[in-house]
Amino acid sequence: DTAVSQTPKYLVTQMGNDKSIKCEQNLGHDTMYWYKQDSKKFLKIMFSYNNKELIINETVPNRFSPKSPDKAHLNLHINSLELGDSAVYFCASSQGLAGAWDSGELFFGEGSRLTVL
C-alpha cells in the first residue's frame, strides 16, 4: 500500500548515458514534485506539477525533463548524465499546493539513489 512509489531505488550508470526515474502516487493528490538531495542532505526542489501542469521549474539544467502523463504519475528523464548528477532523487506529492491550508502536507517516496561513474 505504498503511497508514493518510485523506481528504481538504485541506479548506477556511466557519464553521458540517459536514464529515467518513475514515480506514482495512489493518494489521489493533485500536485507532484521532484526534489534532489545531495551528499550534504540538502533538499532542493526541481519541479512541481499540479494536475499535469508544470508550476515550478527551478534552475535545473535542461538535460532534466519531467513528464506527467496523468496526475498520478511524474517521471524524470535525465540526458547526458554528469558526475554532479549523482544524488538521491525524491518524488513527493501533496493534495493541494505545497503548504496550502489543510492540503499542503508533502508525502515523499523512498528515494532513488543515482550514481554516475
Partner 1 sequence: GENVEQHPSTLSVQEGDSAVIKCTYSDSASNYFPWYKQELGKGPQLIIDIRSNVGEKKDQRIAVTLNKTAKHFSLHITETQPEDSAVYFCAASTGNQFYFGTGTSLTVIP
Residue 81, all three cell numbers: 548524465
Residue 104 interacting with partner 1 (CB under 8 A): yes
Of 95, 97, 94, the closest CA to residue 106 belongs to 94
Piece of 11-19, 59-67, 76-84, 108-116 that binds partner 1 (CB under 8 A): 108-116
Residue 48, all three cell numbers: 512541481
| DSSP-assigned states of every residue in 4-64 | EEEE-SEEEE-TT--EEEEEEE-S--SEEEEEEE-TT--EEEEEEEETTEEEEE-S--TTE
- Contact flags string 63-92 toward partner 1, x per CB under 8 A: ---------------------------x-x
- Contact flags string 8-47 toward partner 1, x per CB under 8 A: --------------------------------xxxxxx--
Number of residues that bind partner 1 (CB under 8 A): 24
- Residue placing its CB nearer to partner 1 in the complex, 15 or 54: 54
Strands 64-70 and 31-37: unpaired
- Residue placing its CB nearer to partner 1 in the complex, 72 or 97: 97
Distance, first Cα to last Cα, the chain:
34
Piece of 18-26, 65-73, 74-82, 94-102 that binds partner 1 (CB under 8 A): 94-102
